Amino acid sequence: MERREALIKTLKYGGCIAGSILINSTGSGAITQTQETDCETIREEKEFIQNWLSDLLNTMDEVLDDETKDKLMAGCGKGCYNRFKFKQDIAAYGHRDLDKLIEAYKGNFEIWRQDEKVHIRYGEISKGCYCPAAKYREPKPNDIHCECTRNTHKTIFETALERPVRIDIIETVRRGGKTCHFVVKV
């Protein structure tokens, strides 16, 4: 899903209040009872999904070994790569060429090469976690969700370079850092 499509979907499902303001500002009248009911249903479902996801991730943290958690989050990271064309475009542009891959990354991330390492950073300071799936959950010192992001970058690099790479988490906002910073060993 492209950024524009994601924004439209977010507004459609999460923007009922904004939509009612827009309807009223255009002079088309008050929001109907059916629209209010639809908005309330969407809000309730969103809250249910957020709570369910929190329960799932908390349970994973409590009962699974690190290797199993990593495998599960790797699947989520790959799924995120597959859902967002801009991530696939980064990998395609950098196909078999690390310098081109770094250049492609610069459109969305701060990135630099230091010897055999590539640093990916979400700016010197980040406002918060950018992932909608994590946005409504309380952060934790060793937040499992950051493994999803690490694996998304791993998928981009491995797809582009057609070989395995190792990516370490230096810091993340969800784990108490001032930004999200990953290091790729190439």
Task: Express each pLDDT in 90-103 by its tens digit.
Answer: 999 999 999 999 99
Examine the domain organization and report whether 51 and 75 are in the same domain.
no
- pLDDT at site 137: 87
Examine the domain organization and report whether 112 and 37 are in the same domain.
no
Examine the domain organization and report whether 55 and 147 are in the same domain.
no
| 181-185 β-sheet, strand order | 110-114, 117-121, 181-185, 166-171
Q: Any idea what DSSP says for residue 114?
A: E
Which domain range does residue 13 map to? 1-63
Q: How many CB atoms lie within 10 A of CB 24?
A: 12
- pLDDT at site 36: 72
What letter represents residue 166's amino acid?
R
Domain boundary among 22, 40, 63: 63
Number of domains in the chain: 2
Examine the domain organization and report whether 138 and 57 are in the same domain.
no
Examine the domain organization and report whether 49 and 127 are in the same domain.
no
Domain boundary among 39, 63, 87: 63
Q: How confident is the model at residue 7 (pLDDT cuts 50, 70, 90)?
A: very low
Examine the domain organization and report whether 165 and 78 are in the same domain.
yes
The conformational region for residue 13 under phi > 0 = left, psi -120 to 50 = alpha, else beta, is alpha
Quote the pTM value.
0.78
Examine the domain organization and report whether 115 and 160 are in the same domain.
yes
